[in-house]
Structure 1
Amino acid sequence: MISGGSVSAGSLLDRRYRIDAPIARGGMSTVYRALDTRLDRPVAVKIMDPKFAADPQFVARFEFEARAVARLNNPGLVAVYDHGRDGEYAFLVMELVEGGTLRELLRERGPMPPHAAAAVIRPVLDALGTAHRAGLVHRDVKPENILISDYGDVKIADFGLVRAVAASNATSSSVILGTAAYLSPEQVTTGSANAGSDVYGVGVVLFELLTGRTPFSGDTSLSIAYQRIDNDVARPSSLISGVPREFDELVSRATNRDPASRFQNADEMARALRAVCARLELPAYRVPAPRRSAEHRSAAVLGAPTTFAGDRNAEPPAPPTQAVAAPVSSDAGLHHTRVQTAPTARDSAPAPDVVPPHTVGRRHYEFPDFDADRQRSRRAIVIWLTVVAVLAALVGVGGWWMGSGRYPTVPEVGGLDLLGAESALEAADLDSATRGTYSDTAPLDSLVGTDPTTGSRVPRGDTVYLLVSLGPPSVPDIAPGISVGDMQELLRERTFDPVDGGEAFSTTAPIGGVAALDPPPGTELSVGDTVKILRSKGAPPVDVPDIAGMSADEATAALASVGISVEGTDVAFDEDTDGGKVTGTSPEIGTSVTAGSSIRLQVSNAIS
């Protein structure tokens, strides 16, 4: 039991977990480095604010989510060891990731190249995929909740915390829970979240990894949150040149405002990311942990050894990889998490001097022949310098290949004709093909630009499309039997914005099909104009006209003029009607029928 009712270094939680040092504080909880005295292992303990622990709804949801996550098995998920209450405190015990958060890495290093961003996102998607298959949703995917160990392991933490807080009476029903910059549109408008909401968050994180910033900004968290309702996430290449278009497409699909148009879950996005990495032949990459993380500083307070990924003499960790719970969200759940790190102890021992690798384990000897020893030393220096020069050359060649060598820049083609543009692309070691594009201003068949755009970096030998003007777009014809969905796609291909125009009668289109377009086919419009699609509600009703006394041919023509056909003739004697003349119809004259239907004629065989 915590004595005195407060948590501090040395406190014993639940008579088992000794609190050592704080790692991060937020509005809902504080994360501590602690020691499990029963198993003698370091752990991370998240202690919730007492206002939540006093709420039975929160405690019930908190415990349910903890048990659900504990059942999951994926190396990308921070393991949950235990949960419980000690007095006024509800707590969660997790594995301790010795490293830091993706947020801290972004602060240290800024934007990442595509291969590094992919190395971060892949394990996150794999972990989320495990959760999604189990019916769990994270609801708060963000860099603060993505942890990187000193050995390059990437993990995601804080599953279910937002849902538990949402169940609490301690939060207002008007509060949007989550972190504003990473919320999906449906979380903002309805508060609901599903696997697609997590995918949206991953898409925003991928955007931030590639560009170094989030897609929306504003003076308040609410203004940031509501921007995504009416605005799409920009393509990363519009902010950072050289981002491959495949990554633009990944981000665009993951952050589509329409949930039905996104990747439906993390597994689907993971497959798409793997395909992109294979197509671009991206190299393998081990994600480095941040050097100046809150977790490292908390370890320094205790004098615990901190091992970095670059240390050659570091011993591998004992399995499973241990790690630290991510910083927590703020009260409203809208602001970015503020991480407060523990100060470094002033009287802690200074760091030992670093011993150069080539001197480790070397003993000192007195050589009888100093000149011979000096010659050997000189030869060794020459050999080392040669090795260093060769390595530097290899690094330079590798850097060139991974940079401009492997990813040449799409050249400027403005002012060139098609032949000149093809030559410019060939000189850049890129293939070319033509693609038509509609334009309100560019003359027909003139060169408009390229896809990818000028300045983009693409794999050597990749195809760059030369965009040739098709002139202003015109409304397409209506193909017989075309569906509304296919018509929408056809209109979008011509740059139009298809909208519902209601229903209309049609003698040619089936019910629910395309009856008409407004403006009609053949009308020339501007790029992006709206075209209404009128859905067919079937043929209009018509009355069978009075054709009595007409010949069979005359009656057939009269019926055809109103959309009725003749399916056959019945001959019968009628003393009042001359032979060969129509005496009636079936259905009867004056009956309302559907245009396009058929009737039978009744014709007299009396002798004239």
Structure 2
Amino acid sequence: MMEAGYKLGGRYRVIRPVGEGGMANVYLAQDLILNREVAIKVLRLDLQNDPDTIRRFQREELAATELVHPNIVSVYDVGEDSGLQYIVMEYVSGNDLKQYIADHYPIPYAEVVRMMTEILAAVQQAHAHGIIHRDLKPQNILVAPSGHLKITDFGIAVALSENSITQTNSMLGSVHYLSPEQARGSIATKQSDIYSLGIILYEMLTGKVPFEGETAVSIALKHFQSEIPSVRKIDPNIPQALENVILRATAKEPAERYESVAAMTADLKTTLSPLRVGEPKFVSQINNEETKILPRIDAEQFATSSATSEAAPASANTTTVTTKTVSAAATNEPAPTPKKRLARPWVVITTLLVLVVLVVVGFFVANQLQPVAVPNVAGMTQSKAQSTLMAAQFKVGSATKVHDDHVKAGRVISTTPVKGEKAKRQSVVKMRISTGKKEYTLKDYTARSYSSVAAELRKAGFKVKRTTIVSRSYTNGQIVQQSRDAGTRLVPKGKTITLTVSVGANGFSLLDMTNWSQASVRQYANSMGFTLNLKYDYSAAVQAGSVMSQSPKAGTAVPHSAKITVVISRGSEAPE
């Protein structure tokens, strides 16, 4: 354990330990350069000499640095100090989700849906980068005092492309949240994470995990042998639609689970809608199928059918082609008599040869004195352009290198004299060579005003996207994160930069109010303190008095002073 006051990497002063894990110890520290609190995960001393552990720890560094999302703990720095491997991360005050459930159970259904939606958003981002967490559990989900959630600990996450270091025969992760295929020792997939998410949702609604046992093995056996207990037997008020999300996410066969986290999110968001009241319970189709007896095929039948199937294409592809052979009869006609060549005196021959030489030399000299057109070498590589100009009997002069948005780097833009212009042979032709499109160097936009930074980037040619986040460290409108690192050089055209903007410490994530009643919307507005702007429109799809749409959309972090527009259905428009 490191003592308080120890300066790690010459930059981070340790304040106190905040947690211990299987691989590392976590400390709260002060970043002396940026003057902010950070969390530092340090690989345990007893594991510093274990190559496999160091590799896994370094894999966490690589995996986490790819992920930039409001619901994923940000990684700021990685390094080594006196043999100690460490990762510097965003510090999230508050408790983990396990402790939050213990302190706040029972949690309102709408709050469970909101919190679970944030967790799903983070996992969806990881899956989009080919990263499977493999150890999703409430202990790895942090809950900030604002209620905002962030996933951490990618220590045993695995990139799909890193097949050489996957551990297919090891049951990694906490057994209470382990998928059946992981319990059997199979490789984890995205559907394995979805199973763990279903167990987390179960615990948020019931306050406990579905399976308990005296040993890890006994719990693992229950995951692939026993059905998930019904949450509605524990709390009958839980909507069937909400229980169905759990049942489908935790189906024993991965093929029956949600095909993606995005599909699970879409289903979860509508579970509290009045339109899903009376929904039937999800039942596994694979587990309920009757055992089918396949007809017996003996060796003779198999051999006969195989022979028939092999013979058929052969006969189909066999055709008889008959060609006529026409023999050419030898003719007995006598060969034509060659013409008699006229004899030339040697004097005449010599005279003609001299005349030919004189004509050729005269033509060559005259041709060399005539100016010729400069060849078109635009778009060629520099070396090929030089060869082309030299073949046209020009000398190649110095090359000027300039930026060009339309010509690839290393290729010719133009020449002087220009293409097609006539010049004397052996005269000098100069070239302008492209260095490619002009690059832009990104700055560190953290803590700057979003409006000014967005205007600056758009002027440079970037596309700017904005996401919001609740933050205690940054005021409303300040940039918390950027999707591309400071110092990165790139061509602005066609590039998008996502800026994560703070809505202040008192902000919150907006719930999906689709199909809510007007009274529920007003109650929600009063409880959260935002200004409600009601509009009305006709809709044949949404019943009268229910919410058709909202702006901003669900999941957006907004300040309590925000103005939220909600469109209420008037029902089907009356016929004229």
Taking structure 1 as the reference length, the TM-score comes to 0.44
Taking structure 2 as the reference length, the TM-score comes to 0.47
Q: RCO greater where, 1 or 2, for CA within 8 Å and sep 6 or more?
A: 1
- Rg larger for: 2
